[in-house]
Structure 1
Amino acid sequence: MLIEKIHHVAYRCKDAKETVTWYTKYLEMDFQLAFAENQVPSTKAPDPYMHIFLDAGGGNVLAFFELPKQPEMGRDVNTPDWVQHIAFQVDSVVTLERIKARLQADGIEVVGVTDHTLFKSIYFFDPNGHRLELAADTSTPELLSKAAAVKWEMLEEWSRTKRAPQHAAWMHASEFQA
């Protein structure tokens, strides 16, 4: 099987209109399409839905389903809030800081700018409770090569010990962060 790209990624939303408005305002995504039916085409389940599609740039599509007849959506209580997230790349740290300021001006809590050496990120939640990350690339070919050189060794050590290998601890060491 040869995957060409991700066609779209779909999540649940609480309110389709609010979600479109939020993503167009804060992340400047274009609203592409909307589909709504009373029956799920694949399963034939009688479950009305609104399916919306947003342009996430670079041929990437972010989609949401509003499901008004289903129980209120929640999070996996066994997974910390910081784990499951959608990360979007932006063109620069300047853009990252501009979007952070826009979010904070409207009272949206933002974590970061966090320096990961290879990129800088901010983290926040959309109105549906989905954690989002915006990342600006700050890597160099040398840093990427250094990180890639230890990936298999780290994975093998983690698999054996379930303790964080220190092969790439340099990425969060102060001498590498600006």
Structure 2
Amino acid sequence: MNMPASDVLKTNSLSPNNFSHLEFNTRDLKPQLEYFSDVLGMPLVSIRWADKTESSVRAMLKLNEHAMISFLCTLRTPSEVELGVTHSENPGDATTTGTVQHTALNVDSIEDLLAIRDRIRSRGVHCVGPMDHGFCQSIYFLGPDSLALEVATLTTDDMTQWIDPNVAEAIGLSAEEMIKLGR
């Protein structure tokens, strides 16, 4: 299943080209905004009533020119955290089906990764890593509401390393199915 790295990122003729925003629920918006602005350097770009109601607030922080991180604050949001069910306790732990296990953000270099790790730690936030995954290095930490976060940087442009045919086979994907998936 080895393919040229230039072919790995090719997609179907119609597919999304980036994400617009990732939105997380929170019961306390202010700590989220302070954390993502101070610790991760994301500026606030929007704060307003959500969906024209006065019972929910949506705030958005700029990730880059095309994408944002968004928080929806409503009193209906449960505040209980159950590690391993609602939230993972570490980057490899389980959460319930349909939830986000963790959110990974990108930086351009190992130097940037180490600099952001140091900034995170300087704010008193426990941060693990960098961990070498073979194709990228990552750091892991928790945000407010036990939001599991990662910052990563690619260490190779040979993305063929990302496909392990033995793993594909182990989860029941045939060679034909892999081709259908774009591999």
Tell me which residue corresponds to 1:7.
Answer: 20
Q: How many aligned positions are there? A: 150
The alpha carbon displacement at 1:152 in A equals 4.6
Tell me which residue corresponds to 1:88.
Answer: 105
- 1:60-139 to 2 correspondences below 5 Å: 60-75=67-82, 77-78=84-85, 80-81=88-89, 82-83=91-92, 84-139=101-156
1:32–1:73 Cα change, 3 Å: farther
Tell me which residue corresponds to 2:178.
Answer: none
Deviations 1:42-84 (A, max 9, x none): xxxx881110111112512111111134432435643643241
Tell me which residue corresponds to 1:172.
Answer: none
Correspondence for 2:61 among 54, 61, 71 = 54
Tell me which residue corresponds to 1:18.
Answer: 31
Tell me which residue corresponds to 1:31.
Answer: 44
TM-score (norm. length: structure 1): 0.72
Q: How much identity, in percent, do the aligned residues show?
A: 21
Q: Which runs of 5+ in 1 are unaligned?
A: 161-178
Deviations 1:123-171 (A, max 9, x none): 0001121110000111133xx23x15x44542122338xxxxxxxxxxx
Q: Which has the higher contact order (CA 8 A, sep 6+)?
A: 2
1:70–1:85 Cα change, 3 Å: closer
- 3-state SS, counterpart of residue 72 of structure 1: coil
- 3-state SS, counterpart of residue 159 of structure 1: coil
- 1:153-164 to 2 correspondences below 5 Å: 153-159=166-172
- Distance in 2, matches of 1:4 and 1:60, equals 11
